[in-house]
Each structure stands twice: as structure tokens, then as C-alpha cells.
Structure 1
Amino acid sequence: MKLSSQIKPISYLKAHAAEIVRNLGEQREPLIITQNGEAKVVMQDIESYEQTQETMALLKTLALGNRQIEEGKVQPATDVIKRLREGRQAR
């Protein structure tokens, strides 16, 4: 993906909104909108956005798990499974 070809001024967005939306869905590449020569907004299709959000959630979960490992807040899986089974049998 070459971002330089995906940079457009806000005037282009105003004049070509329908075409931009169609292209975002087909090309699945983000579009950077500039205002007064500065990048202000990134537009992307909904599927790419959802995939990005899912990826970020997974990365946050992995980071939390790594932090818990570093802090020693872990238990062997066999101990956890045993405790869960004992809890179920007690009911």
C-alpha cells in the first residue's frame, strides 16, 4: 500500500464523496484527508475498521497477559482446572 497515492484534500472529499466511499469498499485501503496542507482524517471501509479494532483488542489482551506473567500473577493450568472441577462438584 502506497500512502502517497491515498492522500487527498478535503475539497476532493466534498466533490467526490460517493466515489470515495465506493473505492474504499473495493480497494480496502485507507484514505488520508488533508486540510490546509495537514493530514487531519483517515477514512477506511467498515470491514477494515472492524478488523483493526479486533486486532487491537487481541493485542491488549496479550499485553495484559504478558504483564500478569511478569508480575507472577499466574497459576499452573492443572491447578486451575482442578479447582474448577472441585467447585462444580460441590454444587
Structure 2
Amino acid sequence: MKFSSQIKPISYLKAHAAEIVRELGEKREPLVITQNGEAKVVIQDIESYEQTQETMALLKILALGTRQIEEGKVQPAKDVIKRLRMRAGG
């Protein structure tokens, strides 16, 4: 995704807030806001934000699982199932 067309100064945000909110919902592309010529914030529609958060959570879970495998903190599923069945009396 190219952000070059989605960069606007803060004065544009102030003058076109309602239009920006509508376009963010339609296009689902983030908008970079600059202040004094420097990128300061990124705004995006709520659905995109929620999707990003869910993706980040899944990536964290994946990274944790990978680290546990590397550290040898995992056991074969058959061993775990056998132990659970023994606890349950079966």
C-alpha cells in the first residue's frame, strides 16, 4: 500500500473532518496526518483498526508458541491426552 496519496497536513484534517471520516469508512485506507511537515499520526476506520488488533493478537500467540517450542516447553498431544484421561479416571 502506498501512503503517498494518503498524506495530509493537520490543517486539512481540521477543515475536512466529516469528509475524511466518511472516506476512511469507504476506502478503508489509513490517512497520515502531518504537523510542521513531519508525519505525526495515522488515522483509520474502526473496522480496519479492530482487524489490525486481532491480527496482532494472533501474531503474539504464534510468537509465544514458537518460543515455547524453541525452549522445549511442549509435550506431544498423545502424552497430554493420556494424562488427562488418567486424571478423569478413564
State TM-score, norm by structure 2.
0.94
Partner in structure 2 of residue 14 of structure 1: 14
* Sequence identity (%): 86
Structure-to-structure mapping, 1:41-56, within 5 angstroms: 41-56=41-56
Query: Aligned residue pairs: how many?
Result: 90
Deviation at 1:81, TM superposition (A): 1.3
Partners in 2 of 1:89 and 1:17 — Cα distance?
64
Partner in structure 2 of residue 58 of structure 1: 58
Greater CA drift, 76-85 or 52-61: 76-85
Partners in 2 of 1:89 and 1:16 — Cα distance?
67
Partners in 2 of 1:65 and 1:21 — Cα distance?
38
Deviation at 1:51, TM superposition (A): 0.6
Give 1:13's aligned amino acid.
L
Gaps of 5+ in 1: none
State TM-score, norm by structure 1.
0.93
Partners in 1 of 2:83 and 2:75 — Cα distance?
11
Deviation at 1:87, TM superposition (A): 2.4
* CA RMSD, 1 decimal: 1.2
